[in-house]
Amino acid sequence: KQEVTQIPAALSVPEGENLVLNCSFTDSAIYNLQWFRQDPGKGLTSLLLIQSSQREQTSGRLNASLDKSSGRSTLYIAASQPGDSATYLCAVPFDKLIFGTGTRLQVFP
Amino acid sequence: EPEVTQTPSHQVTQMGQEVILRCVPISNHLYFYWYRQILGQKVEFLVSFYNNEISEKSEIFDDQFSVERPDGSNFTLKIRSTKLEDSAMYFCANHAGISTEAFFGQGTRLTVV
C-alpha cells in the first residue's frame, strides 16, 4: 500500500529565503510525482510533474527533484515571497493519486 | 492551460437531503476522478471513471454516493442522503493518460447542517 508523507508539516520563513519541502513515498514503483499548491479554502493548482525517468524538473523559482530508489522528492523554492504562502502537496499515482498531508508554508515580509 | 470546472463553488444543505455536484472535465482527457478533503485532513480518493464506467471505488464511496455522466461529457457526484460527516471540499480531476499531469477543479465546498 502506497503511503505518502511530507515534512515539515508547517514552515514559517522570512521573505527571500530559499527553502526545501520534503515528500516521501513507500512504494518506488511510480510513474511520476506531482506537486500542487493549495491556497486556503481553494482548489489544487498543479506546480510541477516529474516523471519517474527524470531526476529534476524546473518551473521558474521552483525546482523538484525525484529519487525513486530512496522514495523521496524535494521541492526547492528559491527566493521565497509572501505570495508563496500556501499549502504544498505532493501526490503519486497508484491508479488514483495518493496525497501527502502537505506542508503549510508562511513567508513573512 | 486546460481547465476543469466545478459547480457550485459552495453548497449548504440540511442533513438527509440529496446533493448533486457537477464537473466539466477537459475534453479527451479519459481518466476522471472525484476526491474529497475534510477540513484539515488529506485529500482522499472517492471514485475513478474510465471508458464510461467506474474503474475503482474507495471505502468512502458507499451506496449513498453515485457518479453519473448525464450528457455523455460532464460528470455529477450525487450524495443521496447527506450526513454531517459529508461536509468537505469535493474535487474532480482528470488527466489524459496514466502518467500525465492531473488537473483539478476549484472544488465544491459542501456544508451539511
Write the pLDDT tens digit of every residue in A71-99: 999 999 999 999 999 999 999 987 889 99
How many residues appear in chain B? 113
* pLDDT over 80 at A4, yes or no: yes
Q: What is the pLDDT of residue B98?
A: 73
Sign of CA dihedral B55, B57, B63, B64: negative
Q: How far is Cα B34 from Cα B108, in angstroms, rounded to an integer? A: 11
* pLDDT over 90 at B100, yes or no: no
Say if CB B2 and CB B94 are below 8 A apart.
no
B98 touching A (Cβ < 8 Å)? yes
Q: How far is Cα B22 from Cα B78, in angstroms, rounded to an integer? A: 9
From the list B91, B100, B101, the residue facing A43 with the nearest CB is: B91
- Minimal CA separation from A17 to chain B, in Å: 27
Which residue out of B43, B57, B91 would a mutagenesis test of the A interface target, given it has the greatest number of A Cβ atoms within 10 Å?
A: B43
Beta bridge partners of A67: A72
Say if CB A78 and CB A61 are below 8 A apart.
yes
Sign of CA dihedral A7, A66, A92, A69: negative
Q: What is the pLDDT of residue A16?
A: 97
Q: What is the pLDDT of residue B70?
A: 86
Among chain B residues, CA nearest to A102: B42
Give the pLDDT confidence of A29-80 residue by residue, as tens digits. 898 999 999 998 889 999 999 999 999 999 999 999 999 999 999 999 999 9
- Minimal CA separation from B61 to chain A, in Å: 14
Q: Give the model's confidence band at B2: pLDDT under 50 very low, under 70 low, under 90 confident, else very high.
A: confident
Give the pLDDT confidence of B30-72 residue by residue, as tens digits. 899 999 999 989 999 999 998 888 999 999 999 999 999 888 8
DSSP state, residue B81? S
Chains A and B: how many Cβ contacts under 8 Å? 57
Contact A91 B93 (CB under 8 A): no
Q: How far is Cα B11 from Cα B17, in angstroms, rounded to an integer? A: 12
